[in-house]
Every structure is written in structure tokens, then in C-alpha cells.
Amino acid sequence: MIALIVAPPLPPAQAIDVLQRARARIEDPARWTTCYLARDAQGEHCAPQSKEAVSWCALGALQTELRTLGERYDEIPRIWRLLQPSERFRSTTQVNDHEGHAAVLQLYADAIAYWERAS
């Protein structure tokens, strides 16, 4: 199988920084969620960037950190390219919602390692 590597949507150093911040956001299992991008303190779903958000899924955490770079940076394709930089695609939603917290943290670790090698 040939892996097709896509160009990074951000410079590798910036991608690593954003991924590390997003991973730190959900490192505590109490700050991680499934089935929605984010939840508030009552467990209701909310926008990831909402001031009420207290827990995020893998994509919601990354979207929130990318938003700090500007509104255009939180586009879903850009998020997937950061977390899934090669054709060796695994559904981030599947990992988040069905494989569990440890698998999500590993997904982040793998993406960070990829961008470290790319820098």
C-alpha cells in the first residue's frame, strides 16, 4: 500500500503546537466527551468555542485550538489533515466515540510524531 502524504495545512512547528494544546485540553478524561464536539457542565452539547464548554471530543478540542489562529483555521478538512496526515485514514469520529479516551490520546500522539518527523 502506498501512503499519500498531504501537504501540511500549517507549518509543522505550528501544527505540533496546536496538536499539543488540543491534546492537553482533553488529556483529563473528565474534559473529554463523545458523540458531540463539546458539552457544557450539564452535559448538553454546545459549540466547541462556547464559554460554557467544559469537555470536547478529539475534533472539538482541535477545532477550538485552531480557532485561536483565526476563524478560517477551524475548517473540518484542515482539522482532519492535522490529525490524519496520511492516507492511512482512521475515522476520528470512530476512534473518539467507539475506541475510547486512550485511543484518542494515541491518535494525537501519532499525529504529533508525524509532524515532528516532517519538521
The whole-model pTM stands at: 0.83
Give the chain's domain count: 1
Q: Range of 31's domain? A: 12-118
Q: Is 4 within the bounds of a domain? A: no
Q: Is 98 within the bounds of a domain? A: yes
Distances (CA, A) of 112 to 10, 18, 25, 29, 107: 13, 9, 15, 20, 9
The pLDDT of residue 6 is above 50: no
- State the chain's mean pLDDT as an integer: 84
- Non-local (6+) Cβ contacts of 48 within 8 A are 37, 38, 56, 60, 61, 63, 64, 67
Cell 473529554 locates to 32
Tell me what pLDDT residue 50 has.
Answer: 95
Radius of gyration of the chain (CA): 14
Q: What is the pLDDT of residues 38-95, one digit of tens each?
A: 999 999 999 999 999 999 999 999 989 988 887 555 566 666 677 775 555 568 888 8
Q: Is 53 within the bounds of a domain? A: yes
Q: How confident is the model at residue 7 (pLDDT cuts 50, 70, 90)?
A: very low
